[in-house]
Homo-oligomer: A and B are copies of this chain.
Amino acid sequence: MTEKKNIAIIGAGLVGSLLSLYLAKRGYKIDLYERRPDMRVSTLDGGRSINLALSDRGWRALRGIGIEEDVRKVAIPMYGRMMHSENGQLTYQPYGKEGQAIYSVSRAGLNMALMNLSEPNPDINYHFNMQVQDVNLRTNEVYLHNHHSDTDEVIQPELIFGADGAFSMVRNALQKTERFNYQQSYLEYGYKELTIPAAEDGGWLLEKNALHIWPRGNYMMIALPNIDGSFTCTLFFPYEGERSFAAIKNDTDLLNFFLEVFPDAVALMPDLAQEYFCNPTGSLVTIKCFPWSYEDKVLLIGDACHAVVPFYGQGMNAGFEDITVLDKMLDSFDGNWEKLFKEFERKRKPDADAIADLAVMNFIEMRDAVADARFLLRKKVESKISEQYPDKWLPLYGMVTFSDLPYSYALETGRQQDKIMGKIMKHIDTLEDYNKSEVQQLLEEQLVQKEKLKAYQQQEV
């Protein structure tokens, strides 16, 4: 064990809070510095509940610290997608096999649970209202502004973890170093959060155990259930164009648009106009960078080094998996932090890149393809393949969501499977065609090739 015991985590969000628990368990002394006030004392955003989809990678990280069961009590399983057509017709598509689900949880609720769990630990200390202004990478000095006392402070921890999100100030310091690779890409879409409130009896006005989607070509709305009976809807919408945030100027524009394209939803949204015009329009950014560390002093983690768009529901899960991966490396840690950081970023970077790309790709699938009958048939055929050959075929969504296979492996395998599906679907008009001998023979041939390719690739590594 090294002598470096005094660790600062910048950012007490989901990743920072969970990381503090993992590090404290290994005997480190942790101070967390959070820009915002303590959310358990002063609720932000007028108490708006923003929910997230927690899936296998996230659960694993929570399990590792013993809080899986506590969180499960307030998580709502969503077993599939419920698609809403323009005339209100519903189509259901399961996410995985029987019993597999992603879970809607409240971001604030989960964050507070992690804080409540960690704060009693004498080795973990939270410092709220403390905004990082700059980091001196040579001296490890962190310059903070205390918003409560309106004073500046300087700390000098031995190690700094940057868990301060997509607009990380710790990364900002790294960006000023030599040869730092950095990319920020925005989609031409923004998002707006809206609410379907609970029924009068406290129940849910839509199917509770599904993620609802209103796919409409180049835009869409989704809704995730909350435990209070409400749904949080998110409209993903172009900034500019004929149908866009720019085109909706007043209540009439808004209502006409919603009545036309989301008629079944608008009937359940009594505060639509107020929420639409008062809630901020969020932007959708992908951030990639490299390296993630500076010498033996600083490591970025979570969104700070790999922010993704939300369309695979993997942002938090990927951040939590960072912690699982790092924790595993700490099992054989020899005291050399620089080596550890280099190993971590080398191992994790291809997976972070893969989930970033998958998330952008899934936007197209969600807003567009899921409304297409041919696409739904293809998904059903793929389920059949996966049932018939469970060891040889895992659908991409399942690899990402219900496994701990590396994201980069999932992306590559998904691409191979996509090519095979293209060949198979040429012979399929209805689900029954799947059993035709020519389809079965083609599939077998393709699977043999796929296994060969896999063996070859593993050999290359």
A182 proximal to B (CB < 8 A)? yes
Contact assessment for A184 and B184 in the assembled complex, using a CB-CB cutoff below 8 Å: no
Binds B, one of A109-117, A173-181, A293-301, A313-321: A173-181
Cα A185 to Cα B181 in complex, Å, equals 5
Q: Which of B178, B181, B186, B239 contacts A181 (CB 8 A)?
A: B186
Taking CB atoms and an 8 Å cut-off, the chain A residues in 170-221 that contact chain B are 178-186
Residue A283 lies at the interface, judged by CB distance under 8 Å to chain B:
yes
Q: Are B186 and A185 in contact (CB under 8 A)?
A: no
The complex places the Cα of A147 from the Cα of B285 at a distance, in Å, of 38
A180 to chain B: which residues have CB within 8 Å? 184, 186
What residues of B have a CB within 8 angstroms of the CB of A283 in the complex? 178-179
In the complex, chain B residues whose CB is within 8 Å of the CB of A179? 186, 239, 283, 285
In the complex, what distance in Å separates the CA atom of A179 from the CA atom of B283? 7
A110 to chain B minimum Cβ distance, whole angstroms, is 28
Residues of B within 8 A of A182 (CB): 182-184
Report A340-361 residues with CB < 8 Å from chain B CB: none
Chain B residues within an 8 Å CB radius of A178: 283
Interface membership of chain A positions 274-315, coded 1 if the CB is closer than 8 angstroms to chain B and 0 otherwise: 000000000101000000000000000000000000000000
Q: Bound state CA distance, A182 and B183, in angstroms?
A: 6
Chain B proximity of A184: nearest CB distance (Å): 5
Distance (whole angstroms) from the CB of A343 to the closest CB of chain B: 16
Chain B neighbourhood of A184, CB < 8 A? 180-183
Q: How far is the CA of A341 from the CA of B204 in the complex (A)?
A: 50
Q: List, in ascending order, chain B residues with CB within 8 A of A285's CB.
A: 179
Contact at B186–A183, with CB atoms within 8 Å?
A: no
Point out the residues of chain B lying under 8 angstroms from A183, CB to CB.
182-185
Q: Which residue of B lies closest to A185 (CB)?
A: B181
Cβ–Cβ < 8 Å partners of A239 in chain B: 179
Alpha-carbon distance between A186 and B290 when the two chains are bound, in angstroms: 10
A52 CB, min distance to chain B CBs, angstroms: 23
The residue of chain B having its C-beta at the shortest distance from the C-beta of A182 within the complex is: B184
Closest B residue to A186 using CB positions? B179
**How close is A169's CB to chain B, nearest CB, in angstroms?**
14
Q: How far is the CA of A185 from the CA of B285 in the complex (A)?
A: 18
Q: How far is the CA of A178 from the CA of B239 in the complex (A)?
A: 12
Bound-state Cα–Cα, A186 to B283, Å: 27
Chain B residues whose C-beta falls within 8 Å of the C-beta of A186 in the assembled complex = 179-181
Min C-beta distance of A2 to chain B, whole Å: 25
Provide the residues of chain B in CB contact with A185, threshold 8 Å: 181, 183
Residue of B nearest to A190 (CB): B179
Nearest-neighbour CB distance to chain B for A390, whole angstroms, equals 38
Which parts of A229-286 form the interface with B (CB within 8 Å)? 239, 283, 285
Among A179, A183, A185, the most chain B Cβ lie within 10 Å of the Cβ of: A179
A183–B285 Cα distance when bound, in Å, is 13
> What's the Cα separation between A178 and B285 when bound, in Å?
11
Q: Whole-angstrom distance between the alpha carbons of A179 and B238 in the complex?
A: 13
Closest residue to A239 on the B side, CB-wise?
A: B179
What's the least CB distance linking A217 to chain B, in Å? 20
CA distance in complex: A340, B183 (Å): 27
Interface string of A38-59 (1 = CB under 8 A from B): 0000000000000000000000
A185 vs B186: C-alpha distance in the bound complex, in angstroms? Answer: 17
A305 to chain B, nearest CB (A): 15
Complex alpha-carbon distance, A182 and B178, angstroms = 17
| Bound complex: CA A183 to CA B185 (Å) | 8
Tell me how far the C-beta of A168 lies from the nearest C-beta in chain B, rounded to whole angstroms: 15
Chain A residues numbered 318-345 whose CB sits less than 8 Å from any CB in chain B: none
Can you list 8 A-B contacts (CB < 8 A)? A179-B239, A180-B186, A181-B184, A181-B186, A182-B183, A182-B184, A183-B183, A183-B185
**With contacts A178-B283, A181-B186, A182-B184 known, what are 13 further pairs, Cβ within 8 A?**
A179-B186, A179-B239, A179-B283, A179-B285, A180-B184, A180-B186, A181-B184, A181-B185, A182-B182, A182-B183, A183-B183, A183-B184, A183-B185
